[in-house]
Amino acid sequence: MNKQIFKSDLLGEEYTVATLQNGLKIYVMEKQNFDSVYAVFGTKYGSIDNCFSLNDGEYISVPNGIAHFLEHKLFESEDGDAFTKYSKTGAYANAFTSFDKTCYLFSCSSLFDENLDILLDFVQSPYFTAETVKKEQGIIGQEIRMYDDSPAWCVLFNALECMYHNHPVKVDIAGTVESIAQIDDKLLYECYNTFYNPANMFICIAGNVNSDSVIEKISNSIKPCEKITINRKKVDEPKTIVKDYIEKSLPVAVPLFCLGYKQIIDKEEPSLRESIAVNLLLKLIIGESSPCYKKLTDMGLINDEFDTEYFTGRGFAAILFEGESNEPKRVAEEIKAEIKRLSNEGIDSQLFEAVKRDSFGDTIKRYDNVNNITMMFVDAAVSNYNIFDEIEVLKDITLDEVLSYLSVFDDSRAVLSVIKPKEN
Strand order in the sheet with 245-250: 245-250, 414-421, 256-262, 316-324, 307-313
Of 298, 365, 379, 280, nearest to 334 by C-alpha is 298
Q: How far is CA 116 from CA 23, 29, 361, in A?
A: 20, 16, 32
**Residue 64 and residue 8 in contact, taking contact as beta carbons nearer than 8 Å:** no
**Residue 25 and residue 17 in contact, taking contact as beta carbons nearer than 8 Å:** yes
Q: Do the bridges between strand 414-421 and strand 245-250 make them parallel or antiparallel, or are there none, so unpaired?
A: parallel
Burial 379-407 (b: 16+ CB within 10 A, else e): ebbbbeeebbbbbebbeebebebbbebbe
Give rounded-to-5 percent helix, strand, coil for the chain: 45, 20, 35
Rounded CA-CA distance 388/363 in Å is 10
**Residue 162 and residue 243 in contact, taking contact as beta carbons nearer than 8 Å:** yes
Question: CA angle 284-285-287, nearest 5°?
Answer: 65
Q: What residue type is assigned to position 237 of the chain?
A: E
Catalytically annotated residues = 71
Rounded CA-CA distance 377/387 in Å is 7
